[in-house]
Amino acid sequence: MREIELYDTTLRDGSQAEGINFSVYDKLQIVRKLDELGIHYIEGGWPGSNPKDIAFFQEIKRVSLRKANIVAFGSTRRARVRVEEDHNIRLLLEAETPAVAIFGKSWTLHVREALKTSLEENLRMIHDSVSYLTQAGREVIYDAEHFFDGFKADPEYALKTLQAAWDAGAKVLVLCDTNGGTLPFEIEEIFTQVWDFFASHKSVRLGIHAHNDSGVAVANSLVAVRMGASHVQGTMNGYGERCGNANLCTIIPNLKLKMNLHPLSDESLQKLFEVSHFVSEIANMRHDDYQPYVGRSAFAHKGGIHASAILRHPATYEHVPPETVGNQRRILVSEQAGRSNLIYRAKEMGITLDAQDPRVVALTQKIKEAENAGYQFEGADASFEILLREALGEMIKSFELDGFRVIVEKRGGKETTTEATIKVKIDREVVHTAAEGDGPVHALDNALRKALETVYPALKNIRLSDYKVRVLSEKEGTAARIRVLIQSTDGEKTWGTVGVSTDIIEASWEALADSLQYGLWRAKRKEKE
């Protein structure tokens, strides 16, 4: 069986999408998730382009990964510069990744107009760069930028650029549809001619890197694999510049479930839904409900004939079982389906529920009402578990809010100051504290901790690791509903909480309070074990 390498470039190419800006911490979180999924190569960024990527490559050295190879991305040496003196090439080596990806020009237009150099010098730039990095002990992935456009303009020269990279020691030659204008039948025709060119080189490996400007990036990637490509590049959820990159969340299940190629194990494929939604939350992007395989609506069925048939035999209206990619079937008009989802989620937490339990029925309705109001629990597992356990009668909350006040003050040209005053009830005692902070949420966090830490010392181990705000009803302007997602950690586990309100401070408080409630509950459970 042919092996297919999966190469994820969400952290570099994906981050070029409008509206996405990953922090170093965001990138580290995504790397861990992609590694859990089983991605073979994760492109971390371009160490020569910005300080953030340089910091990422320093931090990732401390992260232990199970399978993935981290890749540093860059370009060939500059024209008329010795490769050992090229600044970007040096930074690629300093990133100390096991693999590097470098792109070179395949299109004569780019060589003459963008690089302002000769066609012969461009071939030397490709050969020198790949050879130098290979001799330095790096596995080199060569991205033939604008290859398909270059091939259409001058096939002989485009093939020479591939030859230069292969002769210099590249592990794989990746044919890039950088402008996204190539159609599937053209991919097939050009791949055939490339294979013919390398007919005497039996060990040559080809890859594909497709953009979605013509809406066929996934199709182009699958056709390339069918034509012999063994290396596929893309991004989670298809994020990327302009119209995006080829969507790995669609490519991976198509390869495995439709083409009988197995880049991931069955168990890993079941994590795809979770990873897709995790990345969209970290990117602070609204997840596409209608995305194939991993969208919430991908296996959603409304009433009437469809719902009736699907309950008798799922294959009547589902091309694959949703469980294979970690998704769930949803019968939108059926209350029973809502309970089934709840029971499934509870089982993942080690809680066995009876569908006929009136508490389950009530909680199902409560969750539906909450989601209608803007709550979303995919990235807020802790808020969901609090709802569930309280519905079952468990005492999970360690404190109750009696009230809070936040004052933001700015006078003259001085910096803004923020102070939060809070009253909370711990058992039967009311504790009243105040604290300053860098903004309303930080001040509330400080005041709440000040009230709780003397009673709950475990709170010192709990810290906020991420805070995101999303506007739910943009047309309402400043009166719009706001969803706040907070991620917290105690050093062993990370959990998410959610708050929704037309008041950003109230939404933040709700997510913040749930975060600390859950962390304290975890600490109590550990003490009893």
CATH number at residue 221: 3.20.20.70
Q: Which of 379, 345, 386, 383 is nearest to 274 (CA)?
A: 379
Q: Is 392 a domain residue? A: no
Establish if 232 belongs to a structural domain: yes
The verdict on residue 249 lying in a domain is yes
Q: What is the pLDDT of residue 311?
A: 63
Please give the Cα distance from 487 to 496 (Å, whole number). Answer: 4
Which residues share a beta bridge with 463?
489
**What DSSP element (H or E) covers 372?**
helix 358-372
By the 8 A CB rule, do 10 and 279 touch? yes
Predicted local confidence at residue 335, as pLDDT: 42
Beta bridge partners of 469: 484
208, 305, 316, 317, 356 from 312: Cα distances, Å:
41, 11, 9, 11, 21
- Count how many domains the chain has: 2
Tell me if 504 is assigned to some domain. Answer: yes
Boundary residue ending a domain (264, 282, 300): 282
CA 97 – CA 130 distance, rounded (Å): 15
Residue 496: beta bridge partners? Answer: 487
CA angle 194, 197, 202 (to 5 degrees): 95
- Name the nearest CA neighbour of 34 among 272, 261, 250, 230: 272
Threshold 0.85, pTM exceeds: no
At 438, which CATH number? 3.30.160.270
Do 263 and 411 belong together in one domain? no
pLDDT at 181: 97
Phi, psi of 523, deg, nearest 5: -65, -40
* CB contact set of 438 (below 8 Å; sequence gap of 6+): 418
pLDDT at 337: 46
Distance CA 102, CA 108 (A): 18
Residue 48 within a domain:
yes
- The answer to whether residue 310 sits within a structural domain is no
d(CA 94, CA 100): 11
**Among 282, 297, 316, residue at a domain's last position:** 282
* 184 within domain boundaries: yes
Q: Which domain holds residue 510?
A: 400-528
Same domain as 413, residue 273? no
Position 348 in a domain: no
Q: Of 282, 317, 342, at which residue does a domain stop?
A: 282
pLDDT at residue 231, as a whole number: 98
Q: Helix, strand or coil for residue 346?
A: helix
Chunked into runs of 10 residues, the chain (529 residues) has average pLDDT values of 92 95 94 96 90 93 94 96 95 96 97 94 97 98 98 98 97 98 98 95 94 98 97 98 97 97 95 95 91 91 58 79 88 50 71 82 81 77 88 85 91 84 90 92 92 89 88 73 90 90 92 93 84
129/442 Cα distance (integer angstroms): 48
> How is residue 4 written in tokens?
């297919």
Instruction: Please tell me the total number of residues recorded for the chain in this structure.
Output: 529
